[in-house]
Amino acid sequence: MTTVSSSTLSVPTPIATGADSVTTSNTKAADGALNLLLQDSTFLQSLGSQSSTWVPPTQPQVLSTLWGLINTSGSSQLTKSAVQQAVIAEGGSTSAGDALWKQLSPDNKDSINAGDFATNTYLTTAVTANLTSIQDAVNTQRQQSAGTAGLSNSVLDLFAGGGSGSVLDMFV
Residue 5 belongs to some domain of the structure: no
Residue 55 belongs to some domain of the structure: yes
Residue 98 belongs to some domain of the structure: yes
Residue 163 belongs to some domain of the structure: yes
Residue 3 belongs to some domain of the structure: no
Range of the domain at 93: 13-171
Question: Please, what is the end-to-end C-alpha distance for the chain in angstroms?
Answer: 31
Query: What is the pLDDT confidence band of residue 166, given thresholds at 50, 70 and 90?
Result: low
Q: What is the pLDDT of residue 2?
A: 39
Query: What is the Cα–Cα distance from 26 to 23, expressed in whole angstroms?
Result: 5
Is the pLDDT at 46 greater than 80, yes or no?
A: yes
Beta-bridged to residue 78, according to DSSP, are 112
Residue 122 belongs to some domain of the structure: yes
Residue 24 belongs to some domain of the structure: yes
Residue 4 belongs to some domain of the structure: no
- The residue-averaged pLDDT of 89-107 equals 96
Please count the structural domains in the chain: 1
Query: What is the Cα–Cα distance from 129 to 112, expressed in whole angstroms?
Result: 23
- Predicted structure pTM score: 0.73
Query: What is the pLDDT confidence band of residue 51, given thresholds at 50, 70 and 90?
Result: confident
Is the pLDDT at 12 greater than 70, yes or no?
A: no
